[in-house]
Chains A and B, each alone.
Chain A
């Protein structure tokens, strides 16, 4: 029983956060506010964090998820501006993000550079590339002439009264959960993440799988990049990097939910909600914006301390 509560330390902290803000922040629990949190804070961060979860599951890390998001936005806008149509533009965005992931895959599996350094390099290269392509880093607006209804739908569309972004988060979450815990591919990734030598000695195609994961992570970021750009009708250079630290935070908060501390979809989703709710709640209480990251840091410490500290108390291995 104690163990169950401890393992779900992050769930407890999330519930406490809801209770605290519900009590103290005017309007926090109102439907419009929660809906806005879901659409504006949770959705895109969740998608970016899913990409991170996939990579962390293999024992790696991807510091270039923001770059993939930005490259998708840039390619998406560029295609729209030359009137290629929304469908082609979306595909161009996803392809650009996939290419970013493919570049990581090349560095990591062929050149055997550690994921941290490889994706850090990609982050830097992506930064320069955006400055070069976007005229020193200026926003690129989607002009009025190129705004067909399909574009509006990507940014603000509703299906059965629910925002498109929410649908995509739900679909991605289900697909990821299936992939990670029910598929042969997911088992292989988990094995590589836990003990890559054993995976190799068991005859698993380790490099191929890991390369695929970085490309897949790129594509998932591409979805976030297209949605982000369509939502504000403008490509803002480096906008994607805002998601990086929160996605890492959410993913590692989420690992506490798993008995063997692997990154998992449910945990990541809870981590995303916790971080988003904390940001929104503090804003409503009237705390200065500058306190937000401090609060996120505290939430991470709290969730980790609760889980790992508690486990030590319960006599389990830390």
Chain B
């Protein structure tokens, strides 16, 4: 694939420039010489996978985080060691992902918090109101009454308040971090209209988003980050979102993935027209014994919620699920586990393992009935099984009595997996099974997944690591805005093609198979 490395960005016409940015957090190199060059009056997109360095870059620009090295200039002014107040004084304003508004304030109070207009010792309420209303009318074509409470507004309206609040300071540059994550379609259209009007008025905008379709519709240029470095700055009118997606993923896959199990057995999990009334709807799929099914989607796509509902953590409100031909219904993990579901949660420290407890105690937690007799624990059986698991899964530990806190992340994750292995469940649900795990342990976890599949288990893996999905699953279910966008055979796809589907909700080759 050709690299559309751009030649259309000579440095001299950059109004806002960040260059050579380097930042290390402990053992993680968040930024390694990244640059971002933004021209005056353009809407500049910033994209990259999770962990590519987008948010670190924005935090450095905002003065919230100090870069290890690098330069920041705006209109020729040096902002390298600036604090948040200096950055604001230089005219750069941020609309953050989290709504930074006090819910109990009125619209008027929220708009002028910290920047009250005064007439002598008194607040100039009328004047504040008038200027806020004028801005809302001009950019959003509507007016929010000043006496409404923030808590009463929709997410989109809260966003308007945030933007107007920034506009009142007459900024030079507006930075929006994932502004549409919680918005509905109509609100997104309103936001785009407002941003276009702002651009027409000479405003410079930096727009961070996961949604490449938005970038395509809105931005004049896009900068792509990968592994803390700037890969390219491109013009989305000349570069397709698929090409942008391929710039975002690393393609140097080594031999990390063990061979997949070939045979596919009887159906284990079948879901028909599932919905939870909020996050996902009309999800239909079947998962067979010996099959590894991937599940992925952006935040808010409903993938996470779908996974949780299959373990009784969230409610299913419509549709049917059956496990091994028996109707499945669970209001708690306990009920789900009793019906044959094993679940490895994403948050190892708070949901997966009890760090202060021994390895043996953790491994038996999901199956205490087997390890007790008339209510009393059987410590010898417990240690025996734990010792066997430790050697089978190659867990590096002193022994079954060692506390889980003393293990590395990868070995902790193996303990969490082992907890469910004693139950021999027909269905395993793994939520980000290799998050925060080193490469060696990753490979061992992949091997374990294949072994489970070979032994006839059905496995559902939610992951945002696209290499992993393509490498270990048979099929990948992509969720987009609450619906299954596509079901892609892993053998026929690539991480870049997959990302394209995740970001746009459309697959170029129509192989939608249920």
Which residues of chain A have a CB within 8 Å of any CB of chain B?
178, 182-185, 187-188, 190-191, 194-195, 197-205, 260
Contacts and interface: CB of A to CB of B under 8 A. Distances in A.
Interface in B91-107: none
B377 interface: yes
B345 interface: yes
B368 A198 contact: no
Interchain residue pairs A-B with the least CB separation, the first 4: A203-B337, A184-B372, A260-B356, A203-B334
B369 A198 contact: no
19 contacts: A182-B376, A182-B377, A184-B369, A187-B365, A187-B377, A191-B354, A191-B365, A194-B354, A194-B357, A195-B350, A195-B354, A195-B355, A195-B356, A197-B350, A198-B352, A199-B365, A201-B333, A201-B351, A203-B366
Range for the number of chain B residues in contact with chain A: 20 to 34
B380 to A, nearest CB: 12
Contacts of B337: 202-203
B305 to A, nearest CB: 16
A202 B425 CA distance: 13
B375 interface: yes
Contacts of A183: 372, 375-377
A303 B492 CA distance: 66
B357 A204 contact: no
Given A198-B351, A198-B354, A184 B377 contact: yes
Contacts of B366: 202-203
B361 interface: yes
A194 B356 contact: yes
Contacts of B375: 183-185
Given A187-B361, A194-B354, A195-B354, A201 B376 contact: no
Contacts of B352: 198, 201
A22 B506 CA distance: 84
B317 to A, nearest CB: 21
B280 interface: no
Contact of A260 (B334, B357, B377): B357
B343 A184 contact: no
Interface in B305-356: 332-334, 336-338, 343, 345, 347, 350-356
B354 A204 contact: no
Contacts of A200: 332-333
A201 B330 CA distance: 13
A200 B351 CA distance: 8
B356 A188 contact: no
Given A184-B372, A260-B356, A204 B365 contact: yes
Contacts of B336: 203
Contacts of A197: 347, 350-351
Contacts of B338: 203
B354 A203 contact: no
B419 interface: yes
A178 B376 CA distance: 9
Interface in B462-479: none
Contact of A191 (B332, B351, B357): B357
A198 B365 CA distance: 9
A204 B368 CA distance: 9
Given A194-B356, A197-B350, A204 B334 contact: yes
Nearest to B344: A201
Contacts of A194: 354, 356-357
Given A184-B376, A191-B354, A201 B368 contact: no
B376 A202 contact: no
Given A183-B375, A260-B403, 10 more contacts: A183-B376, A183-B377, A184-B377, A187-B365, A191-B357, A194-B354, A198-B350, A200-B333, A203-B334, A203-B337
